[in-house]
Structure 1
Amino acid sequence: MAETKRKVAKLDPVWSRICDEAEAAVRDEPLLGGLVHSSLLHHPTLERALAYRFSLKLASGEMSEQILREIADEAHADDPSLGQAGRADLVAVFDRDPACHRFLQPILFFKGFQAVAAYRIAHWLWMKGRLDMAYFVQMRCSEVFGVDIHPAARIGKGVMIDHAHSIVIGETAVVGDNVSMLHSVTLGGTGKEEEDRHPKIGDGVLIGAGAKVLGNIKIGANSRIAAGSVVLHDVPCCKTVAGVPARIVGDAGCPQPAVTMDQILRED
């Protein structure tokens, strides 16, 4: 058994750490033993655990847990990048959220992580041409998590959505790698046109709570959008914008604002 654990730790350190944390959690709080075993310790891989959580959280009288589990297992088997993105998202939450002290927390308790994981299944369905099933997953995510991400949107790896209340990401939006956003962020359109109409968010961008980024505009890599801002025009790389409408108020203040999560505005 010990040799098996060592092999797992070498091949998949993220999953190995989750299993160690899960065993400790059961010892510390036996009443959570059923939840922890069924969600984590019962599964041989992180992919299987993510598929189980997806099916458990989104099941309803309209769609059974078994059907959703089959869909998620098929998605992960077909596209290994889903598991890779899940690991990157998990590490991002652990690194950036001071309220996250263990890897197992996002999987079990954080709806921002769970919503992004569910979006990734919906996006896989969309890319396979299974549009109605993708829309169903989007609907359930909105109902369960309060997060509405169109399945056609493109979202990179290492994404953290903190708190995640009232997040809206539109159909033609693009979100780069290592992006952080807080609750009530909207990446929306500005009219009824059906073509490319949503924002393109570069790598490493930090989007503060309540910010609205509207239209087919580009937000440069490693920039910051202050809480409550309404962004209507392109933002250069490594800048901070604030206000309604937003304007450039200075540099980003650090090379990777989405990682440091520094949201304080300072005078240059």
Structure 2
Amino acid sequence: MKNQLPFYSLEPSNIGGLIIEDIPEDISYATMPHQDDHYLVMIMMEGVGTMEMEGEVFHCTAPAMMVIKPLQVHFAHEVHQAKGWIISTAPFLLPDTLAIAFQSLQIKQQYASLRDAGDLIQMVLTLQATFNTSACPARYKPAVIKGLSDALFHRILPEFECILENSAQNIRQAAAITRQFMQLLQQESAAQTPAFFAQQMHITPAHLNDCVRETTGYPLTYWRQYAMLNAAKRLLYYTDKPVKTIAWELGYEDHTYFSRLFRKLTGDTPGNFRSKFHE
């Protein structure tokens, strides 16, 4: 379609769904509205810039950090003498605690000023050096990258948790219910029914679905499938367990149904996904 927004995906070659790079001097490629299928975390240590995300304009002054969620329309208005990093990561690589925090953020909460960020800078530099080095054997590099990125993500987490806590008193009931559902979704099988989650929260399935849709723009089914895909991708990527075993662990007794659902949602069979990320 002529007016369709550009849509960018991470390539599997980006070491299992993660890439870290310096903020480029030429940002002309990012000045047109576009979407990504992955998270972007921008850490700006010097300079200023203006970003727009889902119609909200952010005037960024370093040191600062911004997170952009998958499918959010965003672009840069201008950037001046910016130095820092852009971390692109597949959703399944995020620790569950950070995924919950990111999912709970309203658009205005996706920008954070940084203080006392010296340790964060060192962690980013270490991750970037490891990502770019050829000294680490290829068979070990994904595991090393995972360990370092997990540490960095857990360092990023409190910056956004603080924002959520500061605004907790102003959270509407729908947002509070949505956050509780997201937390339950990390603890229970995504194969559980909406009625199961609603019962745990002592509300009706219809009310739960209405609250989640109002807060996030997506229904319960979307988030259950989202959680299932992330859990499945982690098991496929980080373990050698058979697909049948993974399906059972995720709550799907019929592994063929699980495989069909995975292919329907991703365009890949579980086996093809595992092979691509292990090439």
Which TM-score band applies after superposition, normalised by the shorter structure?
under 0.3
Whose helix proportion is higher, 1 or 2? 2
Which has more strand, going by share of residues?
2
Q: Which structure has the higher relative contact order (CA within 8 Å, separation 6+)?
A: 2
> So what's the TM-score if we normalise by structure 2?
0.27
TM-score by length of 1: 0.27
